[in-house]
A and B are shown apart, each in its own frame.
Chain A
C-alpha cells in the first residue's frame, strides 16, 4: 500500500499536459521587471539606480530583514527605471525594470554543466551561500531558505523531506527538472543534510511520476541516508503538513512549524537552486516554469529568467488562445489570477495556466445544503461551511476557536462544494481579520 496523508483530500483531474516535454530554454526577453518583494517577509532594499548597468547574477537589492531575501539581476543591461507594477497580488509593488543588452554573466558564476559532487563547505558557509544567492522556497510559499536551514537551537532535526509531489493539476515544472537534473538534486540533498545535520532524507514523489520515482530510486540506492517514498496521488499532498504526515506519519501540531516534529521540508526545485548556489556560485535568477492550458498550442516547461513577462512565455507556447478567460500564475488550485500578461515571472512562479472562458466562469452560488462534503475533504479537519458563515458574520472570536488559522487555503472545500459556494474566499477574509485580531492582542 502506497503512503498518503489521512484526513480529507481530493482527486482533481491531473491534466499534466506537459509531462513529457523536456525543458526548453526561453530566449532572453528585451526587458525584465524584477519586483523587490518576491518572497515572504520584508521587501529587499534596492542597491541600483536608473542608468546603472548590471550583469547577470549581480546583486541589485539586498535582504531587508531577517526574513527577507537578496535579489539579483537575471539579465545584463541597463536599469531603465524603478517603478511600481501590479504583481500577482493585484497591488502596486516596487520593481526594477531592466533593459536587456547581451548576456554577460558575473565572473564568479561557474557557467558549465559539469557535476560537482564534492561538498567543500562547512555548515555555516553553506547557509551563508544560500542566503547570498537569494534562495526562497520555489514551491510557491517563497519562504527564505537560509532561515529554514538554521533550525532553532535545541530543536532536533531528524528528517529532511524533499517535496517532489507537485500535486497541483497541470504543473510539471518540478517533474521536468527531476528527470533532467537528478544528479544535481541528489548533491543538493547532501548539501542540506550537511548543513542541517539531519539523519535521513526522504524524497516524496506521487505515483503519477513513475519515471521520476524509478530514476531517483536508482540514484538514491547508493546513499544509505536518502530514501524515495512513492506516494498515492491525492491533493494537497504537497502541503507541508500533509507531506510530513504522509512520509513519516508525524503530525505537526496546530500553530507549530515542521521542526517541532523533527522535519525540514524543501521543494525539489529549491534543492536544485541550493546545488547551483553552493557548488556553482550561481544566485537564483532563473527557474523552470510550466506553461499550460487545454487550448494552448505547445504546452511545455520553459527555463526562463526571473522578471520575464508572462506574455513572453505564452508567445513561446504558441500565443494566447482566442477565448482565454483567465491567466493564472501557478496551478488551478492555489494559483493567482492575473490582470494582464505583463506580470513578470518571480521566484515563486511554478506555472502559467490559461483557462478558457467557460472554465473561468464560476457557477451560481446556492444555499448550503449541509452535505458535509467540505468537511470530508478538508485536510486540516476543519469545518469549512461553518468558517464561511462565521466569516460572513465577522465573528472573529468563534473563528479563532474553530481554528481558522489552521486553514492552509488548499481550496479543496470550494472545489468540492455542490452548491458552488465561495467557501475559501470567505475563509481567507476571516483568516486575515482573525490573524489581525490575534496580532493586536500581543
Chain B
C-alpha cells in the first residue's frame, strides 16, 4: 500500500482560491477599463499599463529583496491595485507620477503591513490620496472625453483641452452664488445620460456608471462580494442628498447627480468592497457602508474637496477593526437582548 495521508476533516475543499476571487474582480473591472480607453484614448491605455506594470514590479522587487519572501504577483491582487490606481487618476497625469503612486500603494499601502490580508487601508486609495496631496494641480486637471469634445466644443482644441469634473463645476458655481439648476442648464454641463455612459470629465474609471454597474452584477453573481456594502453606500448617499435637495434645491444637487458623479459608484463597487479592509459581518458591512455614504456627502458639500469618496473609504477603513469587534454576526441559539426565544 502507498503512503496514505492522515489529516483532520474536512477532507474536501470547494476549490475556491484567492486567485479566483482576485481575477474575478479584474474581470469585473474590464468593462470600465474598456470604456476609459474609448473616452480618453491612448493616454488611458498608457496610464493603465503603467499603473499595473509598476504595481506588479514593486510587489515583486519588495517581496524579493526587502522582505525576502516568496513572490505573490500571480495572486492577482497587485493587478487590482494597479487598475484601481489608474481608475482614480486623470488620463493626462504624467506617467512618472503614476509610478510614484504605484510605489506608495504597494510599498506603503500594502507590503509595509505584511502584504495581502494584513493591510489596514485600501492600497490603491493610499496611492491615490498621496498623489492628490503631493500633486494637486496634475491630479485635478481633467481631460474631457474626446467624444464629448467633438460634439460640443471646438475640435481644434482636442489635444490640450481640460476641464473640471461635474462635481467641481457644481461646487465652483455654488460658491460663486449660482443656483444648482442654473449651473446644470449651462451648455457645457453634462446630462444624466452623459454621466451614465461616462461622457464626462473625471478619472479613468469613475466616469462610466453603466460599466461599473455591469461589474457589480458580475461580482454578485459570482459571489465574489455580497450586496451589503454597495447598497448601504448608495442608499445612504441617496437618502442624505435627497433630504438636502428637498430642503433647498438651489444649494444641493439631487441624489441621482451625486450617485453618478465623483467616483461614487467606482468606490462603492470596487474599493469599499475590498475584502481586506472592509468589515466581515453583514451588520458590520452595513454600518461601514452607511459611514462611507455619510462621510462622502459631508465632504462633498461642506468640505474643501469636491469629491469625498476616497477620504470617506480610508476613514472607514480605519474603523473596520472596531466595527468587527462590535458588530457580530447573528449567532445561532442566542436570544437578542430583552427578546425571548
Interface hits, A296-330 → B, CB 8 Å = 320, 323-328, 330
A383-B6 contact in complex given A12-B12, A415-B12, C-beta closer than 8 Å: no
A289 at the interface (CB under 8 A from B): no
Interface hits, A378-397 → B, CB 8 Å = 378-383, 385-386
A336-B9 contact in complex given A253-B334, A325-B2, A367-B117, C-beta closer than 8 Å: yes
A366 at the interface (CB under 8 A from B): yes
**CA gap between A368 and B117 in the complex, in Å:** 6
Closest chain-B Cβ to A202's Cβ sits at a distance in Å of 20
B4 at the interface (CB under 8 A from A): yes
**CA gap between A371 and B24 in the complex, in Å:** 13
Closest chain B residue, CB of each to CB of A411: B10
A372 near B21: Cβ-Cβ < 8 Å = no
A256 near B12: Cβ-Cβ < 8 Å = no
Closest chain-B Cβ to A247's Cβ sits at a distance in Å of 15
A375 near B280: Cβ-Cβ < 8 Å = yes
Report chain B residues within 8 Å CB of A333: 9-12
Report chain B residues within 8 Å CB of A320: 1
B13 at the interface (CB under 8 A from A): yes
B247 at the interface (CB under 8 A from A): no
A156 at the interface (CB under 8 A from B): no
Can you spell out 11 A-B residue pairs with CB atoms less than 8 angstroms apart? A241-B332, A328-B9, A336-B9, A338-B6, A362-B7, A366-B75, A367-B114, A367-B118, A372-B275, A376-B226, A418-B20
A332 near B329: Cβ-Cβ < 8 Å = no
B333 at the interface (CB under 8 A from A): yes
**CA gap between A359 and B277 in the complex, in Å:** 33
Interface hits, A390-425 → B, CB 8 Å = 403, 406, 409, 411, 414-420, 424-425
Supply 20 further A-B pairs (C-beta < 8 A) apart from A360-B11, A375-B280, A375-B281. Answer: A241-B332, A254-B334, A256-B333, A324-B4, A325-B5, A336-B9, A337-B9, A339-B4, A362-B13, A366-B18, A367-B117, A381-B332, A382-B329, A383-B280, A383-B328, A414-B13, A416-B14, A419-B117, A420-B17, A428-B8
Closest chain B residue, CB of each to CB of A328: B11
Question: Which A-B residue pairs are the 3 nearest by beta carbons?
Answer: A411-B10, A367-B117, A372-B280
A92 at the interface (CB under 8 A from B): no
A327 near B18: Cβ-Cβ < 8 Å = no
Report chain A residues within 8 Å CB of B330: 7, 381
B137 at the interface (CB under 8 A from A): no
Report chain A residues within 8 Å CB of B280: 370, 372, 375, 383, 385
B341 at the interface (CB under 8 A from A): yes
B275 near A371: Cβ-Cβ < 8 Å = yes
A370 near B9: Cβ-Cβ < 8 Å = no
Interface of B is mostly: loop
Counting chain B CB atoms within 10 Å of each CB, the highest count among A327, A359, A414, A416 belongs to A414
B115 at the interface (CB under 8 A from A): yes
Closest chain-A Cβ to B118's Cβ sits at a distance in Å of 6
Partner of B4, one of A325, A332, A362, A363: A325
Closest chain-A Cβ to B335's Cβ sits at a distance in Å of 7
**CA gap between A320 and B20 in the complex, in Å:** 34
Report chain A residues within 8 Å CB of B8: 336-337, 424-425, 428
B116 near A367: Cβ-Cβ < 8 Å = yes
Closest chain A residue, CB of each to CB of B114: A367
B331 at the interface (CB under 8 A from A): yes
Closest chain A residue, CB of each to CB of B2: A324
Give the size of the chain A interface in residues (CB under 8 angstroms): 71
Closest chain-B Cβ to A98's Cβ sits at a distance in Å of 25
A406-B117 contact in complex given A335-B9, A415-B14, C-beta closer than 8 Å: no
Report chain B residues within 8 Å CB of A420: 13, 17
A7-B6 contact in complex given A333-B12, A371-B21, C-beta closer than 8 Å: no
A357 at the interface (CB under 8 A from B): yes
Partner of A381, one of B12, B13, B14, B329: B329
A381 near B331: Cβ-Cβ < 8 Å = yes
**CA gap between A333 and B6 in the complex, in Å:** 14
A253 near B11: Cβ-Cβ < 8 Å = no
B117 near A254: Cβ-Cβ < 8 Å = no
Closest chain-B Cβ to A413's Cβ sits at a distance in Å of 9
A359-B12 contact in complex given A372-B275, A372-B280, A383-B328, C-beta closer than 8 Å: yes
B16 at the interface (CB under 8 A from A): yes
Report chain A residues within 8 Å CB of B226: 376
Closest chain-A Cβ to B136's Cβ sits at a distance in Å of 33
A361 at the interface (CB under 8 A from B): yes
A90 at the interface (CB under 8 A from B): yes
A251 at the interface (CB under 8 A from B): yes
Counting chain B CB atoms within 10 Å of each CB, the highest count among A339, A363, A375 belongs to A375
A334 at the interface (CB under 8 A from B): yes
Report chain B residues within 8 Å CB of A327: 4
**CA gap between A37 and B214 in the complex, in Å:** 58
Report chain B residues within 8 Å CB of A415: 10, 12-14
A280 at the interface (CB under 8 A from B): no
Closest chain-A Cβ to B186's Cβ sits at a distance in Å of 45
A373 at the interface (CB under 8 A from B): yes
B275 near A337: Cβ-Cβ < 8 Å = no
B276 at the interface (CB under 8 A from A): yes
Report chain A residues within 8 Å CB of B341: 251, 253
Binary contact readout A237-258 vs B (1 if CB under 8 angstroms, 0 otherwise): 0000100010000011111100
A370-B275 contact in complex given A418-B16, A419-B18, C-beta closer than 8 Å: yes
Report chain A residues within 8 Å CB of B117: 366-370, 419
Interface hits, B290-341 → A, CB 8 Å = 324, 328-335, 341
Report chain A residues within 8 Å CB of B276: 369-370
Report chain A residues within 8 Å CB of B331: 254, 380-382, 403, 406
A259 at the interface (CB under 8 A from B): no
Counting chain A CB atoms within 10 Å of each CB, the highest count among B11, B114, B275 belongs to B11
**CA gap between A335 and B341 in the complex, in Å:** 33
**CA gap between A432 and B10 in the complex, in Å:** 18
Report chain A residues within 8 Å CB of B20: 418
